[in-house]
Amino acid sequence: MNIVILGPGAIGSLWACHLSRAGHSVSLWSRQHNNSIYLQQDHNPAVQFTCNSKEKLASADVLLVTVKAPIVEPTLEQIAPSLAQETILVLMHNGMGTAEAINTLLPNNPLVIGTTTHGAFRPKPNQVLHTGNGYTEFGGFNEGGKRCDFLQTVFEHALPKVTWHSNILSALWHKLAINCAINPLTAINQVKNGHLSSPNYQKTITSLTAEISQVLNAEGIDTSSESLLSKVNQVIEATSENYSSMHQDIVHQRPSEIDFITGYLLQRAKAHNISVPTNEQLFQHIKQIEQNHD
């Protein structure tokens, strides 16, 4: 397939290398590179990729969007005039809330949304390291996207494990719920995920999960505050040595994805008239920290 990666950062570069080795014609669309770049993933031979080719963009079967959530809409707005209506748009980032805007911007394109738990690190622009094996989940957002379940085989062949969901929103909500409970607390307190297992945090995490589970239920997702709390504590234990992406963004004074994680939860809570004061407090705290960045 002709695949263009929009935003070849850590995750985008990882997929670019894997999809290319799987035999696809992959090119990159980036604000940084010109014409072409060699990318090396771990100890594999470096691969040359064409960059920023309008011809490649116009003939793309798939546009894999791997920029962070706040940049999805502005970057797609810029290239929308160059895209064919048949190009399948695949959004892969943490958080929720971008797909609605992209479906309005490009209503005729099949739209697929997903998330990955693979770990990737880009120490320099032409090198990417696969730092943790994970899995990827996809599903269609609009009618055209729902007919693209063949992508499961395409992506699975390149970098397993890949699951296709007939109800991807439910899978994304479960991931968002865990991110809402873990990420802001680790960023505010500047701690690894595992630190949240300390008894000091349990009261706050219990309040967070009670509020989050009410919003999930209102969105039609079957969960309870007890099962969500238990799942959050399992993830804290399983990822105890990890720093969350929000922790990393705050430490490096980069804009975080809070608007698309807790911010999205708050939006949906407001729509359902549900009070979520503990989540609101963490949201405001992260916003305050971001405002004080240099």
Contacts with 51 (C-beta within 8 Å, 6 or more apart), sequence order: 27, 28, 29, 30, 33, 34, 35, 36, 37
Q: Is 120 in the site for ligand NAP (CB under 6 A)?
A: yes
DSSP E strand boundaries for the chain: 2-6, 25-29, 36-41, 47-51, 62-65, 88-92, 111-116, 119-124, 127-132, 136-140, 162-164
Q: Is 278 in the site for ligand NAP (CB under 6 A)?
A: no
Task: Give the bridge partners for 129, in sequence order.
Answer: 121
Distance in Å, CB of 231 to ligand NAP, minimum: 18
Q: In angstroms, rounded to a whole number, what is the distance separating the alpha carbons of residues 125 and 78?
A: 22
The single residue among 16, 18, 39, 68 that binds ligand NAP, judged by CB under 6 A, is 68
Q: Is 12 in the site for ligand NAP (CB under 6 A)?
A: yes
Of 213 and 256, CB closest to ligand NAP: 256
Task: Give the bridge partners for 51, in sequence order.
Answer: 28
Distance in Å, CB of 64 to ligand NAP, minimum: 11
Q: In angstroms, rounded to a whole number, what is the distance separating the alpha carbons of residues 161 and 175?
A: 17
Q: Is 140 in the site for ligand NAP (CB under 6 A)?
A: no
Catalytic residue selected from 146, 175, 192, 231: 175
Of 52 and 103, CB closest to ligand NAP: 52
Map the footprint of ligand NAP across residues 193-222, applying CB under 6 A.
none
Measured in whole angstroms, the distance separating CA 116 from the mean position of its chain's CA atoms is 7
The single residue among 20, 30, 136, 223 that binds ligand NAP, judged by CB under 6 A, is 30
Total residues in contact with ligand NAP, by rule CB under 6 A: 23
**175 in active site:** yes
Distance in Å, CB of 178 to ligand NAP, minimum: 13
Of 7 and 263, CB closest to ligand NAP: 7
Q: Is 114 in the site for ligand NAP (CB under 6 A)?
A: no
Shortest-Cβ-distance residue relative to ligand NAP = 9
Q: In angstroms, rounded to a whole number, what is the distance separating the alpha carbons of residues 132 and 292?
A: 32
Q: Which two tokens stand for residue 23?
A: 């035999």
**Residue 193's closest CA among 209, 203, 181?**
181
Stretch binding ligand NAP (CB under 6 A), from 17-25, 27-35, 98-106, 140-148: 27-35
Q: In angstroms, rounded to a whole number, what is the distance separating the alpha carbons of residues 288 and 294?
A: 13
Stretch binding ligand NAP (CB under 6 A), from 26-34, 159-167, 186-194, 267-275: 26-34
Map the footprint of ligand NAP across residues 149-168, applying CB under 6 A.
none
Residue 168 near residue 140 (C-beta atoms within 8 A): yes
Q: Which two tokens stand for residue 73?
A: 């809409």
Q: Is 66 in the site for ligand NAP (CB under 6 A)?
A: yes
Q: Which residues are catalytic?
A: 175
Residue ranges that bind ligand NAP, judged by CB under 6 A? 7-12, 30-32, 66-69, 71, 75, 93-94, 116, 119-120, 122, 245, 257
